[in-house]
Amino acid sequence: MESQKDFMEANPPALRKLFKDSAVAKLLDFLTLYRDFDYSKVEICRNSGVAWKTLFRIWPLMKEYGLVVETRRVGRAVMYRLNVESPIVKALWDLAFQIAKHDAAKTVKEEVKVTV
């Protein structure tokens, strides 16, 4: 079974395409794709491909801007998910949608050129 990390590397999401391999883009792409689920920081690191030290540096900023919310505690682990109510997150979704729309239009044009 293909892991979430392997899937994301094979099919880079929209924000990662724009921001290349930025750690913030990796985190946001992972949290956006799996926004219905909550994850511990360890799981977020493992599945997004971001190093623990990098997450530790970026996480306070993500919390400050309201991009992530704490959902529950499982033992000692704190679980987080994307804050879907945040206006910043909604703006990022719009940006990701526009990037995906642009890429889809470009792909259609390339397919038309090949088949004609």
**Which CATH number, 1.10.645.10, 3.10.20.30, 1.10.10.10, 1.10.1520.10, labels domain 4-115?**
1.10.10.10
Q: pLDDT tens for residues 19-52?
A: 666 888 889 889 988 999 999 999 999 999 999 9
Taking CA atoms, 102 is separated from 84, 99, 107, in Å, by 24, 5, 9
Q: pLDDT tens for residues 59-105?
A: 998 999 999 999 999 999 999 999 999 999 999 888 888 888 888 88
Q: Which pLDDT value is given to residue 12?
A: 59
Task: Count the Cβ atoms, other than its own, within 10 Å of residue 61.
Answer: 10
Taking CA atoms, 9 is separated from 14, 55, 95, in Å, by 12, 18, 20
- Euclidean distance between CA atoms 47 and 7, whole angstroms: 10
Q: Which pLDDT value is given to residue 110?
A: 65
| Residues sharing a CB contact under 8 Å with residue 19, sequence separation 6 or more, in sequence order | 25
Strand-strand pairing, 68-74 and 77-82 = antiparallel
Extents of the domains making up the chain: 4-115
pTM of the entire predicted model: 0.70
- Euclidean distance between CA atoms 78 and 54, whole angstroms: 18
